[in-house]
Amino acid sequence: MDAAEFRHRGREMIDYMANYLENIEQRVVYPDLEPGYLRPLIPSEAPMEPETYDDIMKDVERVIMPGVVHWNSPYFNAYFPTGSSYPSMLADMLCGAIGCVGFTWAASPACTELETVMLDWLGKMLHLPECFLAGAGSHGGGVIQGTASEATLVTLLAARSKAIQQAKISYPEKSEGEILSKLMSYTSEQAHSSVERAALLGGVKIRKVPTDNYAVRKDMLKKMLVEDKAAGLIPFYFCATLGTTSSCAFDQIAELGPICNEENIWMHIDAAYAGSAFICPEFRPLLNGVEFADSFNFNPHKWLLVNFDCSTLWVKKRTDLTGAFNVDPLYLKHENQDSGLITDYRHWQIPLGRRFRSLKLWFVFRMYGVQGLQAHIRKQVMLAKEFESLVRADKRFEICAEVIMGLVCFRLKDSNELNQKLLKKITESRVIHLVPCQLSEKFVLRFAICSRATESHHIQSAWRHITQLTFELFQEPSQ
């Protein structure tokens, strides 16, 4: 393919993408396939001779699309949203064209500098305290990670390194291995599985704090800390969640933060989904207490119209990260690195290489404006409230957790088995797509507002569909 063909095929591809998104409702949201469907559809080896572009695009419809779950469909109500918008997709294309690998400032100054400034813009949109903003002359700053899971792992490793250094001073007789075996991290029993995984990867123990209404409160953490310290353990890391994955519950960070500060425990905040909503003043109080945190992370690639991947992480003290993971081979050194004026993001993350992801933020912030992004969040919350009121109006159903953002947890007031049957019918009918969660031993259905194109009539027809399947369920002979 030469540049002339690229121009031509590029225009075609944009048309294909726009048509796909415009007409996505006509596709079955969740495919009906057996595992292994794809292998027989394509040759078992790569072609020796080049093929034509037309043949490839034909196979996109024949091979790929039948196996796609259409996350951008207004009938996709599973998990949490995946961010998507036209400006973000265009920025991603430009990122592909530039193709720089911005591990150091010198490796592509724009890649580093735009990222630092965009994290300040976004930090200001969230009204983060100045200690997290690089441009404020503070010790903090922001970085784009691939995912929230990586942000949790990176901060846990930084906290671990800091805790070991401090414990070596307090207990000079103990070996590093002994200290490591005493380190204890904490998170909510409702936290995302990636937090437990970060502890496994980091080789430290983790305890799950019980919750009240699915949120961690002060006393529950305090009790565990007293027990563990009495047992000779060293508490060093607490990961709070704002907007849990199961039910979108909010840990009481304003109560928990001071305890973590007193006990010298690193507090990380995982707000993967809900963080985007803090750009709206009416939701910002849920972030009060962030001033006690050592690090804060959320995913613009979930709810802020930015395509995957883009997970933004702020730290209060950037040397906590850069000090923990610093290695300096000659081929990565550059003459400006010790000037104190530049950021080498390779020290802030696990991989070396990194894409120019801040372009997506820049394009989206400028094309929507803060007001446009606020309007997007508010509309989706309103649609969730609409769904909630439909559920509440039907006496056979109950709402299982307070609806604060774009997620509604609901179930039939009946056995777990019957709710499982209802979800099975929903999944098999393939009209909408939901996933379940477990809350207080109960099997619960989660209805998340996901697509940017979701409107009230989608909510109404989703609910009509659910009640129709419920009617059928109650007609079945086993009932």
Taken in order 328, 331, 335, 336, the sign of the CA dihedral is negative
**CA dist list (Å): 95 to 6, 91, 239, 355, 363:** 16, 6, 32, 7, 12
Nearer to ligand PLP, 309 or 344 (CB): 309
Residue among 41 and 69 whose Cβ is closer to ligand PLP: 69
Q: Can you give the length of the chain in residues?
A: 479
Nearest to 405 by CA among 298, 311, 307, 310: 298
Single-letter amino acid, residue 175:
S
Residue 85 or 311 having the CB closest to ligand PLP: 311
Cα 266 to Cα 168, 172, 256, 271, 320: the distances in Å are: 17, 22, 11, 16, 11
Contacts of 13-16 with C-beta under 8 Å, sequence gap 24+, read: 16/57
* Binder among 120, 270, 294, 388 for ligand PLP (CB under 6 A): 270
Nearer to ligand PLP, 182 or 302 (CB): 302
Q: For residues 108 and 190, which CB has a smaller minimum distance to ligand PLP in the complex?
A: 190
Q: Among residues 72, 82, 138, 147, which is the contact residue for ligand PLP, using CB under 6 A?
A: 147
The gap from C-alpha 195 to its chain's centroid, in whole angstroms, comes to: 12
Peptide bond into 309 cis (omega under 30): yes
Regarding 247 and contact with ligand PLP (CB under 6 A), the answer is no
Q: Verify binding: residue 148, ligand PLP, rule CB under 6 A.
A: yes
Cβ(244)–Cβ(188) below 8 Å? yes
Choose between 311 and 343: whose C-beta lies nearer to ligand PLP.
311
Strands (E), 86-241: 141-145, 183-188, 205-209, 234-241
Smallest distance from the beta carbon of 169 to ligand PLP, in angstroms? Answer: 33
Closest CA to 167 of 175, 266, 318: 175
242 Cβ contact partners less than 8 Å away, ≥ 6 residues apart: 250, 251, 253, 269, 270, 271, 274, 275, 286, 287
| Token pair recorded at residue 470 | 């419920």
The answer to whether the beta carbons of residues 143 and 345 sit under 8 Å apart is yes
CA 239/CA 209 separation, integer angstroms: 10
| Closer to ligand PLP by Cβ: residue 84 or 245 | 245
Q: Does 104 bind ligand PLP (CB under 6 A)?
A: no
Q: Is 241 in the site for ligand PLP (CB under 6 A)?
A: yes
Nearer to ligand PLP, 105 or 202 (CB): 202
CB of 296 to ligand PLP, least distance (A): 13
Question: Minimal distance in Å, beta carbon 287 to ligand PLP?
Answer: 14
Residue span binding ligand PLP (CB under 6 A) among the ranges 51-59, 238-246, 250-258, 261-269: 238-246
DSSP conformation class of 61 = I
Is position 76 an interface residue for ligand PLP (rule: CB under 6 A)? no
Please select the residue that binds ligand PLP; options are 88, 194, 358, 454, rule is CB under 6 A.
Answer: 194
Site for ligand PLP in 389-448 (CB under 6 A): none
Look-up of token digits 């997970």 = 311
Q: Does 80 bind ligand PLP (CB under 6 A)?
A: yes
Instruction: Give the interface segment with ligand PLP, choosing from 5-13, 251-259, 266-274, 317-325 (CB under 6 A).
Output: 266-274
349 is an interface residue for ligand PLP by CB under 6 A: no
Stretch that binds ligand PLP, among 69-77, 147-155, 224-232, 275-283 (CB under 6 A): 147-155
Whether the Cβ atoms of residue 70 and residue 29 lie closer than 8 Å to each other: yes
H-helix or E-strand spanning residue 241 = strand 234-241
Residues with Cβ within 8 Å of 130's Cβ and at least 6 positions away in sequence, in order, are: 136, 138
Residue 149 engages ligand PLP in binding (rule: CB under 6 A): yes
Site for ligand PLP in 296-335 (CB under 6 A): 299, 311
Shortest Å, Cβ 289 to ligand PLP: 17
Nearer to ligand PLP, 107 or 118 (CB): 118
Minimum distance between the CB of residue 396 and ligand PLP, rounded to whole angstroms?
29
Q: Which is closer to ligand PLP, CB of 349 or CB of 470?
A: 349
Say which DSSP state 64 is in. I
Q: In the structure encoding, which two tokens stand for residue 365, read together?
A: 């912030």
293 versus 390: smaller Cβ distance to ligand PLP: 293
Tell me the HSE value of 60 on the side-chain side, using a 13 A CA sphere. 9
- Residues 174, 181: Cα–Cα separation, whole Å: 11
Please say which residue, 148 or 324, places its beta carbon nearer to ligand PLP.
Answer: 148
- Asked if 295 is part of the footprint of ligand PLP (rule: CB under 6 A), the reply reads no
Q: Binding ligand PLP by CB under 6 A: which of 215, 240, 272, 409?
A: 272
Give the relative orientation of helices 358-392 and 109-125 as an angle to the nearest 10 degrees: 30
Q: Is 380 near ligand PLP (CB under 6 A)?
A: no
Cα dihedral 350, 134, 259, 181, rounded to 10, equals 20
Q: Does 192 bind ligand PLP (CB under 6 A)?
A: yes
Provide, rounded to whole angstroms, the least separation between the CB of residue 311 and ligand PLP.
5
Nearest approach, Cβ of 241 to ligand PLP (angstroms)? Answer: 5
What residues line the site for ligand PLP (CB under 6 A)?
80, 147-149, 192, 194, 241, 244-245, 270, 272-273, 299, 311
